[in-house]
Amino acid sequence: MTVLPDRLTIGELAARSGLAASALRYYEDLGLIHSERTAGGQRRYSRATLRRVAFVRAAQQVGLSLEEARKALDSLPEQRPPTAAQWARVATAWQRRIDAQIAELQALRATLGGCIGCGCLSLRKCRLYNPEDSASGTGSGARYLLGEESPAEAGG
C-alpha cells in the first residue's frame, strides 16, 4: 500500500473535524472537499482539508447552503490559506447573502407579529388563513407569508 505523506485518513479527518465519515464522503461527492487515493483505493486528505471543512460548517451556521459554500470554495485555493483579498471577496458575497436573509426574516417576523401578539388565530382576519388551500394555485410555500395578498385583502 502506498502511504501518502502528510495526509489524513477519513477517520482522522472525521475525528479532527467533528464530522462523521459519511458526511465527509457526502462533502466530497458535492465537490466541497477532495481526496487522493492510495494504491489500495483508500481516501487520503491533505491537512488543508480541515480548513475547507471548517469553512463549510461556518457557511452552514450563517444559513448558507452547501451549494453556496461550494461556489465560494471554488474561488479559493485548495492547498493553502486564501489571501486577504480572496477572503474579502468571499466575505463580501456572504454579507450580501446574510443581509438578504435578515431582511426576509424581519419581514416574516413582522407578518407573524399579529398572530403571535393576539394569539387568536382568527380564521376571518388572520393572514395565515387559507380556505381549501386556495393559495396553492399561486405557487408552493406559504404564499401569504411570502407577501402575496389573500383574497380577503384584495377585496375578494
9 pLDDT more than 80? yes
Task: Report the pLDDT value the prediction gives residue 149, as an integer from 0 to 100.
Answer: 66
43, β-bridge pairs: 37
Mean pLDDT confidence for 25-35: 94
pLDDT category of residue 29 using cuts at 50, 70 and 90 = very high
CATH of domain 7-119: 1.10.1660.10
Map 49-102 to HEC letters. HHHHHHHHHHHHHCCCCHHHHHHHHHCCCCCCCCCHHHHHHHHHHHHHHHHHHH
Task: Report the pLDDT value the prediction gives residue 124, as an integer from 0 to 100.
Answer: 45
Q: The dihedral of CA 119, 125, 128, 134: what is its sign? A: positive
62 pLDDT more than 60? yes
pLDDT category of residue 120 using cuts at 50, 70 and 90 = very low
Does the predicted model carry a pTM greater than 0.75?
no
